[in-house]
Structure 1
């Protein structure tokens, strides 16, 4: 039968196919994938979907690749993903999926901008793939490795903290919506609520208070460190994006991590505010880059 292309259909187990393809593909970069079929199904339910915006490739009955898109109305952008695939997927299959999807998106939403990211610096094959289509770097993000030994010794008086529970969903949602730009990465407010619910349910989420007001929060992916005994943060949210509130969170999580025997943590810097840069430079042991690409019209 050869290569067959199919669009997304609910209740057809495509979510499990997508999760398996992504988890296996991302694993080669040393970061185990943790996508699940239930998460994908819920995301499509919340965000809504155009079934032609998600496509799968099969070699006879074997799934070998998929590509998905996400429309963000608030910023008039469409995010297109890299076609994640099996190791034996022909390159021309990924080319076909990407080209056809870009053409479709610019036809469907001619006034929207198409972007692809965040692409890690170490994903050289992904970056080379995007360069073939004249995609250009629009934003560069820095992931810093912070030294928690020194951070944990800093004074954090004036703030209190606790581990979040499901009772904190409303407060954490309000905090996330207070940070400028936070909601821009989600298609709607309901998607933010689902994200908050999942974070509180699945991760140890730290809530930071000042005068009984929730001012910052964050979580780590897990307490299983990498080979350098460093863990990665899942997200951070800061009221009004004030540096002092974000700093209070970083110090508090450093104090908690040092007690667990860890040596460091990773943070991704999405903005270039001077006080954040100064703080990173003082307590960081290095950085690596990630990129968001602009995808041109064909």
Structure 2
């Protein structure tokens, strides 16, 4: 088939979301980025609309591929490339989009293209290997917890565990950010203000743990889809235990959340043991692949 290829325009965002959602519906532990987040990302000063390519058939968007030039890394010009998202029935658009992206990257003197893939994303590893990509390294490991299968111990000591309240906890969480994340006070207030006032619907749960009247750890579950969230733990890992995860699960069960994912990088793999101990299951890795062009 013949397709019309266009570069990014803001009016494409709604269709991009729908195409992406359909194209990756069988991928596990992955979801299409919401339009609101896409719009924010694509409005940043360093965004280059000429590195995003969209395929149309009879004025209908049927696929797209995203790239980003990274600049020189260890003396080599590199770029990131997403797995081309294509609607069912338009399989041949995959290679057309890929080739268009590579053509543009070559014009920008890119020598190496990077991509990520996982066995949990059907056919992606095989497709990249067929295109000549080689495995480089693990990017992160995937863990999953199903709240419905988590047993809540009614006798567990929940002292110091609470759900975050902007009215009573704001200043303490700002202080926690400053103390544990190296932020200055203004930056910490800005970050928390965004969480509270800009993206409140993106947080399924926000749990705090105090010891000696001070926040020592914090756990959040952010929206991935309507029934799936992503879990993040911050703070003293000695307090990443049953009470804080129990409170999290209680909140998530009330909201009908069916799955909770955690993605651990090399910087957070020290949490792997606690995740497994608390009921998370290891579902493999997401890996980086590269190809010289």
Q: Could you state the TM-score of these two structures normalised by the residue count of structure 1? A: 0.70
Q: Is 2:33 aligned against 1:39?
A: no
Question: After alignment, is 37-46 or 97-106 more displaced?
Answer: 97-106
- Superposed, which structure 2 residues align to 1:1-298 within 5 Å? 2-10=2-10, 13-29=11-27, 35-46=33-44, 48-70=46-68, 78-91=79-92, 93-105=93-105, 108=108, 110=110, 114-117=113-116, 119-133=117-131, 134-139=133-138, 140-145=140-145, 148-149=150-151, 154-157=156-159, 159-165=160-166, 168=170, 171=173, 175=177, 178=180, 199-210=199-210, 211-213=213-215, 215-221=217-223, 232-239=228-235, 242-247=236-241, 249-257=244-252, 265-271=260-266, 276-284=271-279, 286-298=281-293
Question: After alignment, is 136-145 or 254-263 more displaced?
Answer: 254-263
Contact 2:63 2:84 in 1 (8 A): yes
Q: What is the deviation of 1:38?
A: 3.5
Q: What is the deviation of 1:80?
A: 2.1
Contact 2:24 2:32 in 1 (8 A): no
Could you tell me how far apart the structure 1 residues matched to 2:196 and 2:181 are? 14
Q: Could you state the TM-score of these two structures normalised by the residue count of structure 2? A: 0.71
Could you tell me how far apart the structure 1 residues matched to 2:82 and 2:239 are? 33
Could you tell me how far apart the structure 2 residues matched to 1:155 and 1:223 are? 32
More helix per residue: 1
Q: 1:149 to 1:263 in 2, by over 3 A?
A: farther
Q: What is the deviation of 1:123?
A: 1.8
Contact 1:175 1:214 in 2 (8 A): no
Q: What is the deviation of 1:99?
A: 3.5
- Provide the secondary structure at the position in 2 that maps to 1:46: coil
Residues matched between the structures, number = 275
Could you tell me how far apart the structure 1 residues matched to 2:176 and 2:79 are? 25
Contact 2:16 2:64 in 1 (8 A): yes
Could you tell me how far apart the structure 1 residues matched to 2:238 and 2:196 are? 23
- Provide the secondary structure at the position in 1 that maps to 2:9: coil
Could you tell me how far apart the structure 1 residues matched to 2:198 and 2:231 are? 12
Could you tell me how far apart the structure 2 residues matched to 1:102 and 1:161 are? 50
Q: What is the deviation of 1:102?
A: 3.8
Contact 2:4 2:57 in 1 (8 A): yes
Q: 1:6 to 1:153 in 2, by over 3 A?
A: farther
* Structure 1 unaligned spans of 5+: 181-189, 226-231
